Amino acid sequence: MTTTELTWSAFLREPTLVDPLLAKGDVLLKRRDAEPLRLTRATGDDATRDALSTAARLLAPAAVAEASGSFDSQVDARLPWTRFLPSDDRKQFVKDFVREFEACADLGDFTSLGRLLRDWKNTASLHAEGLADILKRPITTVGARVPRPRR
């Protein structure tokens, strides 16, 4: 399956160009001052959603059960950034990821899963920089008041 790029203006001039291109795969409509738009056939989207939902349901129980065993070493081999997470956090990441993947696959929308990954990667980055423990400490002193901005 290929993705064909087409400009927005070409699409507006000749919208009938899109149908033959969709037979080969997705069509990416490039726009000058906005995000590109992806056109895809709904039948393929439904099949993908069903496949991912089924995979999530089949794999979720095994992944959660294995999170306490040898699965831990497999996670950091496949996702090297998780090596910066403490062991308990790595196990929690696997549980969170599997639960979120299962829910996202059911909806066919993986935006939430992307946010979860970004948040966990940021947490790993804080551990890598040695800032995680510092940020967990309570705030004991309050600095000077910030002056009001001048107009």
Q: Delimit the domains of the chain by residue range.
A: 2-39, 43-132
Q: What pLDDT does 34 receive?
A: 92
Instruction: Decide if pLDDT at 9 tops 80.
Output: yes
Total-model pTM: 0.61
Q: How many angstroms separate the CA atoms of 31 and 37, rounded?
A: 8
Mean per-residue pLDDT of the chain: 84
The CATH code of domain 2-39 reads 3.40.1620
At residue 36, what are phi and psi to the nearest 5 degrees?
Answer: -65, 155
Interval 50-79 mean pLDDT? 71
* Cβ burial 4-22 (10 Å sphere, 16+ → b, else e): bebeeeebeeeeeeeeebe
Query: Residue 5 belongs to what H/E stretch?
Result: strand 2-7
Residue 136's pLDDT is: 87
Q: What does the pLDDT read at residue 43?
A: 72
* Mean of pLDDT values over 49-56: 74
Calculate mean pLDDT across residues 90-114.
85
pLDDT at 30: 94
> Which residue is it, tokens 């002056």?
147
pLDDT band at 127 (very low <50, low <70, confident <90, very high): very high
Q: Are 104 and 112 in contact (CB under 8 A)?
A: yes
pLDDT of residue 67 exceeding 70, the answer is: no
Please say if the pLDDT value at position 72 is more than 70. no
Cα 33 from Cα 29, distance rounded (Å): 12
The pLDDT value recorded for residue 123 is 94
